[in-house]
Amino acid sequence: MSATPPGWYDDGHGALRWWDGLQWTEHVHVPEQPQAAPVPEQAAPVPEAPERAAPEVAPEPAPPAEPVADPTAQFFAAPAESSQGADGAPAPQYPSGDDPQAYGQPPAGYPGAGVGGAFISATEPKKSTLWVVWVIVGVVLLGIVAVAAVFIPLALGMMQGGGATSGDDPDEQAAVVTVQTYDDAWRTGDCDAYVASTTDAFREYLGIPDCEDFQISAAEFGATTSEYELTVTDIDSSGDEIVLQTQETYMSSVDETGSPLPEPQPARDDYTYVLVSENGSWLIDDVSVK
């Protein structure tokens, strides 16, 4: 049931159509548009819904002398069907037309039309950027591990062999050459090299003062050792002495007591050489093994 009384109402297409209280009729009137001064826009008061009075006989349609303002605009802003009003009373039924914009539907682009837009964008939860922090931390840690893997072995190597062959000190260079000459003499049986690299006191200390005794001892040494390698691990100059540390590895065919082994076994000795200066040369004056 409609609560709108019969009358001429805007049909949403620029014309007035006759509403007989129950439905639209075919009577249409296009009013002339009067020239009127612009009126400042202001919010029009919302009139109360007219009470419906059931007419006994529909009046004859007669065109109005002047344009009639749309009194149902307030009704068309609400849905066409509603089961209950705000005060609990049954809501009035409104006529429907062909133009959805004329009967309560906002035009396209009007704020609030449809779903989504700025509202969803503003209320959508923001994505967390915490993962970026973890990526940066991981890259930094990886860089630290890489640097440690490179520099720690280098530092250990410098600690173990630091100052082994001080290339800028000619005396230390000469001391290294003397120790290498002494070891070569034992492997090759070269008595001249043996004498040139040692002091008289050291040869007497070894009990090998001359070449005859040295060649016998060197032959025994060569028969029981092979693959001999000498590495200088440290060198220190202090006053009139140079102390040189070496690590000497080889394959030995005898044990520590001089007894033969079934097969040659790897062996290692750590020596400390003490060199003194005589007649402009650095000579071995003492040797000890750890």
Q: What pairs with residue 198 in β-bridges?
A: 284
| Domain membership flag for residue 143 | no
* CATH of residue 261: 3.10.450.50
Task: Using the 3D structure, point to which of 59, 94, 110 is the last residue of a domain.
Answer: 110
Query: Could you report the per-residue pLDDT of 39-61, keeping only the tens digit for each?
Result: 556 555 555 545 555 555 555 66
Task: Say whether both 177 and 282 belong to one domain.
Answer: yes
Is residue 33 over pLDDT 60? Answer: yes
Is residue 104 over pLDDT 70? Answer: no
Task: Say whether both 7 and 99 belong to one domain.
Answer: yes
Query: Could you report the per-residue pLDDT of 60-93, keeping only the tens digit for each?
Result: 666 655 555 555 544 444 444 444 554 555 554 5
Question: Would you say the C-alpha torsion 82, 85, 90, 96 has a positive or negative sign?
Answer: negative
Higher pLDDT, 150 or 176: 176
Q: What pairs with residue 269 in β-bridges?
A: 248
Looking at residues 144-153, what average pLDDT do you find? Answer: 78
User: Confidence band (pLDDT; 50, 70, 90) for 113?
Assistant: very low
Is residue 124 over pLDDT 60? Answer: no
Task: Say whether both 196 and 283 belong to one domain.
Answer: yes
Residue 271 near residue 203, CB atoms below 8 Å = no
| Domain membership flag for residue 76 | yes
User: Confidence band (pLDDT; 50, 70, 90) for 14?
Assistant: confident
Residue 270 near residue 290, CB atoms below 8 Å = yes
Task: Say whether both 17 and 102 belong to one domain.
Answer: yes
Task: Using the 3D structure, point to which of 63, 92, 110 is the last residue of a domain.
Answer: 110
Which has the closest alpha carbon to 186: 218, 224, 210? 218
Distance CA 70, CA 63 (A): 15
Query: Could you report the per-residue pLDDT of 221-280, keeping only the tens digit for each?
Result: 999 999 999 999 999 988 789 999 999 999 999 998 889 999 999 999 999 999 999 988
- How many domains does one find in the chain? 2
Task: Using the 3D structure, point to which of 65, 91, 110 is the last residue of a domain.
Answer: 110
| Domain membership flag for residue 99 | yes
**Alpha helices, H only, the chain:** 73-76, 117-123, 130-161, 170-188, 191-196, 200-206, 211-224
Residue 37 near residue 23, CB atoms below 8 Å = no
Q: What is the pTM of this model?
A: 0.44
What pLDDT, on the 0 to 100 scale, is given for residue 214? 94
264: Cβ–Cβ under 8 A, 6 or more apart, which residues?
226, 251, 252, 253
Task: Say whether both 103 and 212 belong to one domain.
Answer: no
Higher pLDDT, 214 or 119: 214
Task: Say whether both 284 and 180 belong to one domain.
Answer: yes
Supply the range of the domain harboring residue 1.
Answer: 1-29+44-110
| Domain membership flag for residue 100 | yes
| Domain membership flag for residue 272 | yes
Task: Say whether both 104 and 179 belong to one domain.
Answer: no
Task: Say whether both 96 and 1 belong to one domain.
Answer: yes
